Each structure stands twice: as structure tokens, then as C-alpha cells.
Amino acid sequence: MSTISIITPFKDAAPYLKDCIDSICRQNHDDWQLIAINDHSDDESVDILKSYNDPRIEIYTNKGKGILPALQTAQEYIKGSHVTRMDADDIMPKYKLKVLIDIINTSSSLTIATGLVKYSSDAPLSQGYLSYESWLNETAEKDLFYQRIYRECVVASPNWLMHRQDFDSMGGFKHLSYPEDYDMVFKWREAGFKIKSVDSITHHWREHPQRTSRNSDTYQQDSFFRLKTPYFIEEFKNRRIQLIGAKKKGKLIAQILKEHHCEFDWYEKDEALIGQELFSKEIRDIQFLKKEEACILSIYPDVHLRAELEAYITKRGYYIGANAHYF
């Protein structure tokens, strides 16, 4: 049986940690190493981990501060032939490790195994979380990972597994920036990894007020846009970028494009915005969209208007997931 190294940073995770560790201990693939990295907790998290008295559970202290340094610290202690991540407040179904490693063992090298996700919360989930869950699962079921990569992070941070040698060859967590889970997916794409999903839920994501993604500046919209926009610039460096949308997200993208000294044209459908000048750039009517360049859509209208928009840009030589991407 192959050993799977599970990397779990934690900070003041006591309310949820036991549920997480119990779910790991129940795995029907029981050859695993848990590398638990204490990010300077002030609660009883370490005592909870020690109470298991299980030699497979190893506890270390973060050499820095925050999730990314914790992941980089954990990288030094990996012993397994396969690597995965786990969040200290989430839960694995008992078959998770087995079904993911089965994908890896029946695939060529440079494969990432993943599955579907399910959000849970003590309070009613917002429509935003439910929509993201649905979108993530549809992305996995339709194998649209890289076609949708600029919209959102297409693989949940604690819901993947890969060969140790592939992990090492890409540098693991060493060269990542925040938001590190999103950056890792871009690094997978650059290195030629294929992402494969099982058609079952492999991760239960717990939503709660203390969740890091809610409270850290490194996981807010500005950080995601500052990460992905340079990747887009590099991918389409031989084309002129066409930016559609001049509201909040469009303004942020325009600002980042200017910071990177990237030439672009800017368009809107809203007559109130057409003709305005921002960042020394005039916002033009979308009917003047240049043909067959590279298009960023900073808008995401309802289904009817989205179909209308996509039909129009297709006539101009743009294809969603190819040279046109929703941000």
C-alpha cells in the first residue's frame, strides 16, 4: 500500500479539529502520514492531536507565520509516495484517500486527482457558497478545469492528491504566492498536469465565521485578481487585451493591467459608462470590440444576457475558455 502524506496547517482549530482527525483515522486507505503544522495556536489544538497517540500523526511548528509558510514547513517532513492537503476544520469521507489514489495509480504521470465538494455549516449557507459549490462540481464533472481557470479557483485547496515525485518536480509549495491554492492550479497548468475527477464527493467543506478565507486579506478579491491577471497577460502576450466591463471588477483589472504596463482596449454596454475615461483609457461601446485578440470579461450577467453576450463575441472571433475568459 502507498503511503499518503497529508499536510494540515492549523491555528486555533480546537472546535473542529477532532472531527477532522477522526475522519482521517476512519479512512479505508490507512497507510498515511499526517503532517500537522501548528501555526502558533493559543488554544488546545496541540493537546487534541497528541491525545490520539498515533505514530502516523506528526506535529511540527510553523517556521514562519501563516498558511503558506506552514505548507512550506510541512514539505520538509514528507515521507509518503503521494501528497495531499487537508484543512483542520473540514471532513473527509472515509473513501477519499482510496478513490483519489486509485485515479493516480491508473493514470500517467503528471496527474492531479480530485473529486466533488459539499459545503456544510451550522447556519444556513449563503447563495454565494451554494453557487460556488455547484460551479466547482460542474467544472469537475465536465472537465472544464483549465477552460474556467480565470473565473475562480477550479480545485478546492484541500481536495487534491498527486505523486510525490510530481509534487517535488514542480517545487511543491516553495514558489507559490497567495492565494496559494489558486496559484498552485496555475502552476499545474504550466507544468502540463492533467486534472482528473471522480464522480463522488471527496471533501466536506465547513463554513464558519472564523474560516481563514473569510478573515485574511490574502484571500480577498483583490488578491485573486492580482494573482491571475499577470498569468493572463503572459498567456496572451502576443495579443492585445480587450477588457469588457467597467464597473468594480473591471476597474480593478484595468488598474492591474496599467500597473503591468499592458496595453488594452476597454468596452462597456452601459451607456452611462461609455465615453468616460479612467486610468487614461477611454471606455468604448462594445460594438467596437476588436476581432480575434484576447478578451477578459469582468461581467457575469444572468443566463439570458450571458448567452447574448457570448453570441456577440463569438462573431468577433472569441471563444469562452480559449481566447476569452470570465474573471
Antiparallel, parallel or unpaired: β 4-10 and 32-38: parallel
pLDDT in tens, 151-198: 999 999 999 999 999 999 999 999 999 999 999 999 999 999 999 999
Distance of CA 106 to the CA centre of its chain: 25
pTM attached to this predicted model? 0.95
CB burial class (10 A; 0-12, 13-18, 19+) of residue 165? exposed
In which residue are the cell numbers 470570465 written?
Answer: 326
pLDDT of residue 120: 83
Report d(CA 9, CA 1) in Å as an integer. 25
Domains in the chain: ranges and CATH: 4-218 (3.90.550.10), 221-326 (3.40.50.720)
Determine the pLDDT at residue 12: 96
Whether 145 shows a pLDDT value over 90: the answer reads yes
Residues 250-260 have pLDDT tens digits of 999 999 999 99
Percent pLDDT > 90 in the chain is 89
> Measured between alpha carbons, how far is 247 from 297 in angstroms, rounded to an integer?
11
